[in-house]
Amino acid sequence: MPTVKSFAIGNGDMFYIKHGSDNFTIIDCCLTDDRMGSILAELSSESKNKGITRFISTHPDQDHISGLEELDEHLNLINFYVVKNNVSKSFETADFKRYKALRDGDHAYYISKGCTRKWMNIGDEERGSAGLNVWWPITSNPDFQSALADAAAGLPPSNISCIVSYSVEDGPSMLWLGDLETDFMEKITEKVPLRKVDIVFAPHHGRDSGKLPKDWLSKLNPELIVIGEAQSAHLNYYAGYNTMTQNSCGDILFETRDSKVDIFVSDSVYSVDYLADDGLDHSRGLYYVGTLYV
């Protein structure tokens, strides 16, 4: 069954999707010293039987590329999906240098709204689609061009983040938005094909500065919003929506069963009151907290 995992690794983002097809996808990278070995081992184990492994970089803030050098050495990231950019930094970490080498290398694939690629969203007789679609950026959009110019001048690259959705037929849909900021999202509302999504990973680690605008929330109408690990004082808790906060629950594993999503977390006492209880056992060292029907 397809699974999605969101790692709790402090102020950073890292996810993987083990697709039901012959695909494995990693979204962003934040390998901390205390978890690097175990996460790399898990990625190797979960991807070993997949013919295609791809890495999607939403944007090159350090907390989204930390450990990228080690990840590339470990998995050989020959499918590197990235927004085309010329981000510059006054101080270049080893991970940012590796990011630039991958971004500008022969195996980079530059993503933009509506792009198609075998086997990202096109299946054939060799292997099925990964169910990934890019909603943003529109590379010719003036607001995006301005964000690109700012990032090339050394300003934070948050607003060059892509928006990527994952969905499978008769299954749940999920959405990643990198570190997009609220004011930027408000500018591009009419340019993004917003539609119903079951699970949204809140942009900018759940910070209030990246709160999804009201129009976006209305159109996305998520069943669950996952809030990242920014400091509690800076979080927006999305009142009126079902949420999970990784500061409290730790790692989250989503196992999909047709129109159901079984959810497991690393904190043994974490609980919520809006999930159905299908009485499942714990899985992969994580604790079952309930099932989301979508």
Residue ranges of the chain with per-residue pLDDT less than 70 = none
pLDDT of residue 157: 98
Task: List 199's β-bridge partners, or say none.
Answer: 174, 224
pLDDT digits (tens, 9 = 90+) for 159-172: 999 999 999 877 89
pLDDT of residue 119: 97
Structure tokens at 208: 């209030």
C-alpha span between 159 and 184 (Å, rounded) = 7
DSSP-assigned states of every residue in 179-221: T--HHHHHHHGGGS-----SEEE-GGGGBGGGPPPHHHHHHH-
Structural domains in the chain? Answer: 3-293 (3.60.15)
pLDDT digits (tens, 9 = 90+) for 218-251: 999 999 999 998 788 888 899 999 999 999 999 9
Structure tokens at 201: 């990973």
pLDDT of residue 83: 98
**Residues contacting residue 247 through CB under 8 Å, at least 6 positions apart:** 8, 227, 229, 232, 235
C-alpha span between 280 and 290 (Å, rounded) = 8
Rounded to two decimals, the pTM is: 0.97
pLDDT of residue 52: 97
C-alpha span between 221 and 241 (Å, rounded) = 9
pLDDT of residue 169: 77
Dihedral of the CA atoms 262, 267, 271, 276 (nearest 10)?
10
